[in-house]
Amino acid sequence: MGRPRFVRPLATAAVSALTVTLVGAVSPTSAAAPAPPPAPSANETAIQQWAQRTTRGMSLEEKVGQLFVTYAYGRTADTAHPANREEFGVDTPAEVVEKYHLGGMIHFGWTDSLHEPQQIAQHSNGIQRAAMNSGAEIPLVIATDQEQGAVTRIGEPATQLPGSMALGAGRSTQDGKRAAEITGAELRAMGINQNFAPSGDVNVDPQNPVIGVRSFSSDPGLAARFTGAQVSGFQDARDLDRSVSAAVKHFPGHGDTNQDSHESLPVIDHTREQWEEIDAPPFREAIAQGTDTVMSAHIVMPELDDSGEPATLSPTVLDGMLREELGFDGVVVTDSLRMEGVRAKHPDAEIPVLALEAGADQMLMPPDLQLAIDSVMNAVREGRLTEERIDTSVERVLTMKAQRGIIRDPLVDTEAVGDRVGTDEHRSDAQRITDGTVNVLRNDAGLLPLREEPGDMLVTGAGDSATRTLAERIGERGPRTTALPTGSAPDQERIDRAVAAAGDHDVAVVLTNAAWTDGNAAQNDLVRALNESDTPVVAVPVRDPYDAAHVPEVETWVATYSDKKVSMESLARVLLGEVSPRGKLPVPVPDPQNPDEVAYPFGHGVSW
């Protein structure tokens, strides 16, 4: 069977050299080339038929390659990096793609892949060319985790937003959709066509170490509405070259645990009824909105599947619940196979085979890519997996690529990136959205807003960038402002220095970041010490709002859910009375001394 061929047209005034046109190969039995894949707007049947034909023309090795998504090290596709030689046996990202016939690649900062937007776009084009010049000649899914807020892989000048729980506090699903539209358009301009977002997890457990502010809410209905809005925002752009595939995560729901699946295998004891009520709604809504991808979680829900297998390796969860019950027929991608949650019970060679048997389509970041691919190939040769089972997943992957426009237009215009990333419109919309997320939890002293000239202000606490940014933003408005970062675990010397500095100022703003955790509890000592001084104190949790219950004697608390610059600007506006706080708690804040009691209820927010 002929395989699709990519022919690069000559660069002319009308046709950019970056354009790639898929025209199909000449059949060995006919001089006429087969039809190219349907346009992304074509009906689903036509695209699926193309995916089936293309899959039949691929070798088994090429098919299996399509099922793996991994990283590679280097600033460009042709950058030689010693870590590539160590892990993959070749030197460059392009060679990694070619050697393994990869279906996808994921970018991280720690792989040296994410710098400025034009570099990212050039890197993405380079690995796309490598994919189109080797193997089945199918363009890549290029992914990252740009959830915004706590999980933001690409920094400025890309537009920054405060993240999911902040959006939940703002309560505007229109803003949630617009945030996804902005993020998706900028990712696509940089050549990234899949975003591993949004998190559909319902953060029921305040001590959740891995989800927290990555969740929209502890309320299933609110989380579902925002999850659906973001799926729509990522995928429903009027121009497909401004959209990305959404990947809602982590099925069947990672919100009610105090364990981190990166480090262990969490067990969630939800009954079937609890799962239906708490965990399922965001995934149902994402599927209703047509999410391209669902990511599996490395968690065990024994009431749903008593096998003890993590969801990623559970046919009951993936094939049964996700596909048969919820009706999802898109691409199921595993969470990273490097995580301990999926490696707790099985050797690395067994995990990708078990994932395919469970119903997964794409395996993300196996710790040994060659071993993983060989394991799947051997499972087919030995009859444990059928080639038809492999074909099913390959067809899903190809269908997604065709529907998202990746097959016809895999490359991006690197010269246009500056006009599409971090635009004035995007930044303005991001600031407007963020202004609506600031949540005043307590104003018992009537300190806010600081309508009168506030005098000298100290900004101290966790986060060097956040404290300095907030001090700058306040200082731009007139008050003499001092920044004094104290770190996430201040010792007594730093606490004493901050208290002494507060004595020379009229107001002290102290930022906390996950002060509710044992490792960061010294931040609470800082807040108490400042509160015992004669200087009025505003305490600001810039991540989880749960910090606010740990020092109840402080009378002024303002939650931002984010320490990004855009959030510090919104905080300055609220503190100085330029905008009214509109945020409402998207989670209840428990009393740490009496966990069954609520210090601040769901929906709470002070406004003026």
Catalytic amino acids?
335
Q: If you ran DSSP here, which 8-state letter would residue 541 be given? A: E
Would you list the DSSP string of 117-147? HHHHHHHHHHHHHHHHTSTT--PPEEEE-EE
Q: Is the preceding peptide bond at 139 cis, omega within 30 degrees of 0?
A: no
Question: Token digits for 108?
Answer: 């991280």
Opening angle at CA 269, ends 265 and 271, nearest 5:
140
Question: From CA 298, how far away is CA 88, in angstroms rounded?
Answer: 25
Which amino acid, one-letter code, is at 557? W
Q: Return all residues near 50 (Cβ < 8 A) that are at least 6 apart.
A: 35, 37, 38, 398, 402
- Beta-bridged to residue 461, according to DSSP, are 485, 511
* Cβ atoms of 341 and 371 closer than 8 Å: no
* Cβ atoms of 513 and 491 closer than 8 Å: no
Q: If you ran DSSP here, which 8-state letter would residue 344 be given? A: S
- Beta-bridged to residue 104, according to DSSP, are 69, 141
Q: How many angstroms from the chain centroid is the CA of residue 206?
A: 20
- Grouping H, G, I as helix, E, B as strand and the rest as coil, residue 223 is helix
User: Which stretches within 522-578 are classed as H helix?
Assistant: 522-531, 565-575
